[in-house]
Structure formats: structure tokens, C-alpha cells
Amino acid sequence: MEKRCQLDFKLFIAEKFRHIMNDELEELKKSARTHSDNLIELGKELAKIQFNYKIIENATEQFWQKKIYEFNKFNEIEIEYFTQAHALMSLVDKEQSGLFLLSISKLRQIGLRLLTNMEEVKKNPSIIKSKDKQQSKWSKEIREKLVESNNACMNHEKYMNRFFREFYEKHLRNILSENDTSPEN
């Protein structure tokens, strides 16, 4: 009789634990789907902007004003996109999501440096002409800083996209695809 009660108790506990785990898994799937949907919408917005990191040797203040505006808009949505990616990652791996959060901070810093350099070029657009033989050392340094910050921003963005894509494939794809095949969808 005592063994029977112990067995019943263990079965009861196992069943309760299974229900708790199922509830937590469903909550994880629901939260992951919400973040994933937000990422899709932000990705669509980024695709519409189509910011191009290519540096064009255009010597007009209006060109650089437009470039600064476009980058500001792009960078703002890009930071929001990566913040959503971080939130999604933090559902399954706090350590990796913490590293990703540091990358977001670095992207923000690099973006601010790029904006500062573009503002400098906007004030004196002739700086950007690389074939100008009369350029001062100061002009060449500003141009080099612009190219350097531009490349750093572009390469860091690529790194973050690759990092998230690999994380998604390894940790999130199964969770989100299981959610897609649930009877409620």
C-alpha cells in the first residue's frame, strides 16, 4: 500500500511537472513568435530604406544632408531591429544575447562616429574628392575617417546579421517552426 502511494505521488508530481513544462514551452513559443513578427516588420522597413554605404564623391551639401538623413533613419530602425533580435535571443540563451547586446552598443557608437564624419564632410563637401591634388592634410584625414567609420559600420552590421542568423539556425528555428505547426495556427 505504501509503495502504491509513493508511486501515485511520483506520477502526480511527474504529471504536474509535465504540465508546467508544456505551459512554459507554449509561453516561450508565443513570445518568440511575437518578437519574430516584429523582426519581420522592421526588416521590411529596412528594406524600403535601402541605405547604401557606398561613398560617392559628390561635392554638394544637399547630397550629404540627404545621406545623413537617410543614415539616421536607417540606423534608428536598424538598432530597433537588433534590439528585437536581442530580445528574441534572450528567451533561450542569456549569455549569447548579452554578447549581442554589447554588439548593439558598439553599432550605435560606430554609427555616431559615422554621422559625425558625414557632418564634417557636409560642412566642406570638397573634402571627399580623392583625386583633388590640392587637398590639405586635414581634408585627407577627414576623408580617411569617413571611409574608416563607413567601413566599420557596414562590417559590424554584417557581423551582427551573421551572428544572429547563426544563432537563429541553431536555437530558434525549431522553436518557431514548432509554433507554426501547432493546431492553433
pLDDT tens digit string along 18-73? 555 566 767 777 887 887 888 889 989 988 988 889 888 877 899 999 999 999 99
| Within a domain: 66 | yes
Q: Is residue 157 in some structural domain?
A: yes
| DSSP SS3 for 93 | coil
**Residue with the larger pLDDT of the pair 166 and 139:** 166
pLDDT at 179: 46
**Alpha helix (H) ranges present in 129-182?**
137-167, 173-180
CA distance 171 to 184: 23
Q: How many domains does the chain have?
A: 1
Assigned domain for 11 exists: yes
Q: What percent of the chain has pLDDT over 70?
A: 79
pLDDT of residue 115 exceeding 70, the answer is: yes
Q: Are 32 and 88 in contact (CB under 8 A)?
A: yes
Residue 17 falls inside a structural domain:
yes
User: In which domain, by residue range, is 7 found?
Assistant: 2-180
Provide the pLDDT for residue 1: 62
* Measured CA angle at 112 (ends 50, 131), to 5 deg: 70
C-alpha cell at 147: 571611409
Q: Is residue 88 part of a domain?
A: yes
pLDDT at 182: 37
Higher pLDDT, 134 or 155: 155
Burial of 19 (0-12, 13-18, 19+ CB in 10 A): exposed
Q: What are the cell numbers at 86? A: 536581442
185 is a domain residue = no
**pTM, 2 dp:** 0.77
**What is the per-residue pLDDT across 78-101, written as a single tens digit (0 to 9) for each?**
999 999 999 999 988 899 999 999
**Cα 52-55-56 angle, rounded to 5 deg:** 105
110 lies in some domain: yes
Query: What band does 103 get if pLDDT is binned at 50, 70 and 90?
Result: very high
Is the residue at 90 inside a domain?
A: yes
